[in-house]
Amino acid sequence: MALTGEYQPSKSQWAREQAEKFEESQGSEANELRGMPIIVLTTVGAKTGALRKTALMRVEHEGRYAVIASLGGAPQEPKWAGNIRHHLHVELQDGAHKRDYLAREVEGEERDEWWAHAVAAFPDYDAYQAKTDRRIAVFVLEPMAEEDE
Ligand code: F42
């Protein structure tokens, strides 16, 4: 079931424009960062309940995705990570295809495996982890059953 709530645009202009252009064009425009593909994640705001849309790198493996809370190696986590912990049901749009997912934060070996997929998709993640003292959170997104399945 699709998420419900009012869309509240991000305060970050470049990130907002990328997410909006990507969605409006069904993923045919604004679909890369430095030549590498992105997806758009929709989360439910932990405080407002509003729908938040965030452009993130595309980390996909066998039909599942990971989202990496790197925020360029900043000391603080991106807000969307807290939103996910508060509300595990999210939407992810990859190209023209938008679907519902259940998110789970991963640790240990599972995190290591997904981190390797993440770095293969976007090598800068290693530099971001080296830049910050926090352990960058990794969330794996498992597809939820579609209504007609
Ligand atoms: N960020 C990453 O962390 N990882 C990536 O892989 C990544 C890739 C990427 C690719 C393209 C691109 O354009 C941007 C990319 N970014 C990536 C940056 C990403 O799009 C986000 O801008 C960044 O991660 C920061 O996320 P944020 O959730 O902190 O967003 C900020 C800018 C923002 O909009 N904040 C909102 C605001 O109004 O300032 C708050 C949003 C929010 O969720 N509010 C909650 C609510 O209840 O509505 C409350 C949250 C709380 O706890 O206070």
Give the pLDDT band of residue 147 (cuts 50, 70, 90): low
- Residue 118 clears pLDDT 90, i.e. is over it: yes
Average pLDDT of the chain is 95
Cβ contacts of 75-84, under 8 Å, gap ≥ 24: 75/132, 75/133, 75/134, 76/134, 77/134, 77/137, 78/54, 79/46, 79/52, 80/41, 80/43, 80/52, 80/54, 81/137, 81/139, 82/46, 83/43, 83/44, 83/45, 83/46, 83/52, 84/43, 84/139
Q: Is 55 in the pocket of ligand 1 (CB under 6 A)?
A: yes
* Res 146: pLDDT: 74
Which is higher by pLDDT, 133 or 16? 133
**131 Cα–ligand 1 center, Å:** 19
- Residue 1 clears pLDDT 80, i.e. is over it: no
| 22-44 pLDDT, tens digit each | 999 999 999 999 999 999 999 99
Nearest CA, atom 25, ligand 1: 78
Give the pLDDT band of residue 46 (cuts 50, 70, 90): very high
Side chain identity, residue 12: S
| 56-96 pLDDT, tens digit each | 999 999 999 999 999 999 999 999 999 999 999 999 999 99
Q: Is 83 in the pocket of ligand 1 (CB under 6 A)?
A: yes
* Res 149: pLDDT: 46
- Average confidence (pLDDT) over 109-128: 98
